[in-house]
């Protein structure tokens, strides 16, 4: 163990002692279990699944009711694991309608719950609660994946990621402390102005983080900025692209620019890391320790190579369990061949998830439009909004489509306008429309941020590549 690693472990252990959180333990455990045999991995997953089902039946009113309605009892799993498939699929609409009933009634765990909002891939806002075990494992899964990309505990790493627009002081202090503990820094991908990218480039030059983590679209913007500027010396050991589809064309540009490999990652706010590319880049290994993944095509289990809906059961978030949750993305399984990395967890061959365009502004800024749905502010992920889409019609005009759930407060519309102008320029006109529904793209997918000026425009309709295979 290096001095740096020993020091960081000490800092993180202190964090555990003060907060009662267990990220480092989770990380050590994930780093151990990734090498288990296939049978041991599946045994572990079944054990966690069983405990989750028993807990949900006892403490979560929604599941007690639907298990009974489906004629299912957690004990059925002992003789017949396929009984699980009797359970109905959990959709975003069902979560909205049964929001309180989906939370645990266990008093101790209720105290841990913190609220999160996200829009997923489809622009359908989702509010949910997460508990400590979920959050710790989400972070640990990211850190494990950083390790696959070449990171070693204690090494400096950087994020091009969504920070907050309106961050409270306590949040800001806490985030800085956590950044220091992990030895990382972040550039807010919401507003990747030329100035911010230049500052980020200078910081990277000075401090030399070896790993970079970001959204596919923000990584592409940064790569293009570095190519146009005079930064040939900016390189990394590895880059992780997450939260959005990584088109092969993006990957090539980013890899060529930073002279390293880009690893694809499929993760979402409500599930954490679902699947990640390893060193062999031969599909994405499912994080079976944290998520149980099914792929269904027309109700039946998809064969390798057959595209279907991703249905995920998160094994950690007992505070608000998502059991057989349909996230709205599609994927296919890789064939059963062994990956040369030596890990035996099942792999996804491809994932078709979120596509988010960069918005272009008059002063030459490229702004990541994804902040509307995610990030800490989650501007449009509001209870009064059922679905949304933002479209950059021209350099000075953005159209915001909102499918209402009841009345949308005027104060919220003002806030949306204000935040959009802060992100995309004061001169931009924001136009609201309130349609009954929002139609999918010609591909059948929903895309919530579309720029008619963006170079990534159209990727959603004709590219679904996420890996080399």
Binding site for Zn ion (CB under 5 A): 278, 280, 339, 341, 343
Q: Which is nearer to Zn ion, 343 or 446 (CB)?
A: 343
For residue 446, give the 3-state DSSP assignment. Answer: coil
Q: Which is nearer to Zn ion, 157 or 343 (CB)?
A: 343
Write down the least CB distance from residue 346 to Zn ion, Å. Answer: 11
Write down the least CB distance from residue 43 to Zn ion, Å. Answer: 20
Q: Which is nearer to Zn ion, 138 or 339 (CB)?
A: 339
* Cα gap 357→329, rounded to integer Å: 17
Write down the least CB distance from residue 243 to Zn ion, Å. Answer: 21
- Chain centroid to CA 433: 28
Write down the least CB distance from residue 277 to Zn ion, Å. Answer: 8
Q: Which is nearer to Zn ion, 38 or 185 (CB)?
A: 38
Q: Which is nearer to Zn ion, 317 or 467 (CB)?
A: 467
Give the residue ranges of DSSP H helices in 60-91: 61-69, 76-79
Q: Which is nearer to Zn ion, 274 or 339 (CB)?
A: 339
Q: Which is nearer to Zn ion, 35 or 434 (CB)?
A: 35
* Cα gap 44→36, rounded to integer Å: 10
8 A C-beta contact, residue 288 and residue 346: yes
Write down the least CB distance from residue 337 to Zn ion, Å. Answer: 11
Write down the least CB distance from residue 344 to Zn ion, Å. Answer: 9
- Which residue pairs from 47-50 have beta carbons closer than 8 angstroms and sit at least 24 positions apart in sequence? 48/289, 48/315, 49/77, 49/84, 49/292, 49/313, 49/315, 50/74, 50/77, 50/78
- Chain centroid to CA 333: 20
Write down the least CB distance from residue 310 to Zn ion, Å. Answer: 19
* Cα gap 404→402, rounded to integer Å: 6
Q: Which is nearer to Zn ion, 280 or 296 (CB)?
A: 280
Q: What is the largest CA-CA distance in the chain?
A: 65
Q: What is the secondary structure of 229-297 as a DSSP string? A: TT-TT---SEEEEESS---HHHHHHHHHHHTSEEEEEEEETTTEEEEEE-TT-SSEEE-TTTEEEEEEE
Sign of the alpha-carbon dihedral angle for 414, 415, 416, 419: positive
Q: Which is nearer to Zn ion, 311 or 339 (CB)?
A: 339
Write down the least CB distance from residue 88 to Zn ion, Å. Answer: 33
Q: Which is nearer to Zn ion, 238 or 319 (CB)?
A: 238
Write down the least CB distance from residue 318 to Zn ion, Å. Answer: 30
* Cα gap 24→370, rounded to integer Å: 30
* Cα gap 292→257, rounded to integer Å: 36
Write down the least CB distance from residue 285 to Zn ion, Å. Answer: 6
* Strand-pair partners of 114: 130
* Cα gap 95→56, rounded to integer Å: 15
8 A C-beta contact, residue 40 and residue 153: no
Phi-psi region of 435 (alpha: psi -120 to 50; beta: other; left: phi over 0): beta
Write down the least CB distance from residue 283 to Zn ion, Å. Answer: 8
Q: Which is nearer to Zn ion, 132 or 265 (CB)?
A: 265
8 A C-beta contact, residue 446 and residue 123: yes
Write down the least CB distance from residue 338 to Zn ion, Å. Answer: 9
Q: Which is nearer to Zn ion, 348 or 391 (CB)?
A: 348
- Which residues lie closer than 8 Å to 403 by C-beta, 6 or more apart? 385, 386, 387, 388, 434, 435, 436, 437, 438
């Amino acid at each position: 163990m290096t001095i740096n690693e020993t020091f960081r472990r000490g800092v993180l252990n202190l964090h555990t002692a003060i907060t009662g959180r267990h990220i480092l333990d989770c990380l050590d455990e994930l780093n151990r279990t990734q090498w288990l045999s296939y049978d041991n991995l599946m045994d572990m997953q079944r054990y966690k699944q069983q405990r989750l089902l028993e807990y949900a039946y006892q403490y979560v009113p929604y599941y007690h009711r639907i298990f009974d309605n489906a004629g299912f009892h957690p004990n059925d799993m002992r003789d017949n694991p396929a009984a699980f498939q009797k359970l109905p699929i959990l959709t975003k609409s069902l979560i909205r309608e049964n929001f309180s009933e989906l939370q645990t009634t266990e008093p101790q765990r209720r105290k841990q719950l913190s609220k999160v909002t996200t829009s997923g891939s489809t622009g359908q806002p989702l509010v949910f609660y997460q508990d400590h075990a979920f959050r710790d494992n989400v972070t640990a899964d990211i850190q494990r994946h950083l390790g696959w990309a070449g990171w070693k505990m204690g090494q400096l790493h950087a994020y091009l990621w969504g920070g907050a627009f309106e961050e409270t002081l306590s949040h800001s202090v806490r985030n800085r402390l956590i950044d220091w503990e992990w030895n990382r820094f972040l550039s807010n991908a919401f507003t990747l102005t030329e100035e911010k990218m230049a500052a980020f480039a200078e910081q990277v030059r000075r401090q030399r983080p070896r790993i970079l983590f970001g959204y596919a679209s923000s990584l592409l913007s940064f790569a293009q900025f570095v190519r146009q500027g005079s930064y040939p010396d900016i390189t990394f050991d590895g880059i992780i692209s997450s939260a959005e589809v990584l088109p092969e064309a993006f990957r090539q540009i980013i890899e060529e620019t930073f002279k390293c490999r880009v690893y694809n990652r499929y993760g979402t706010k409500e599930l954490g890391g679902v699947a990640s590319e390893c060193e062999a880049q031969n599909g994405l290994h499912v994080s079976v320790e944290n998520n149980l993944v099914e792929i269904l095509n027309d109700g039946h289990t998809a064969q390798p190579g057959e595209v279907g809906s991703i249905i995920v059961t998160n094994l950690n978030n007992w505070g608000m369990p998502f059991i057989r949750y349909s996230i709205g993305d599609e994927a296919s399984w890789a064939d059963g061949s062994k990956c040369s990395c030596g890990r035996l967890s099942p792999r996804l061959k491809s994932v078709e998830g979120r596509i988010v365009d960069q918005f272009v502004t008059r002063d030459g800024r490229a702004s990541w439009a994804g902040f509307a749905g995610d990030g800490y502010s989650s501007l449009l992920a509001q209870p009064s909004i059922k679905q949304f889409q933002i479209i950059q019609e021209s350099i000075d005009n953005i159209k915001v489509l909102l499918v209402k759930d009841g009345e949308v407060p005027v104060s919220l519309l003002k806030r949306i306008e204000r935040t959009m102008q802060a992100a995309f320029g004061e001169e931009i006109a924001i136009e609201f429309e309130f349609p009954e529904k929002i139609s999918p793209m010609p591909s059948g997918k929903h895309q919530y941020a579309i720029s008619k000026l963006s170079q990534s425009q159209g990727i959603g309709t004709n590219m679904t590549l996420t890996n080399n295979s």
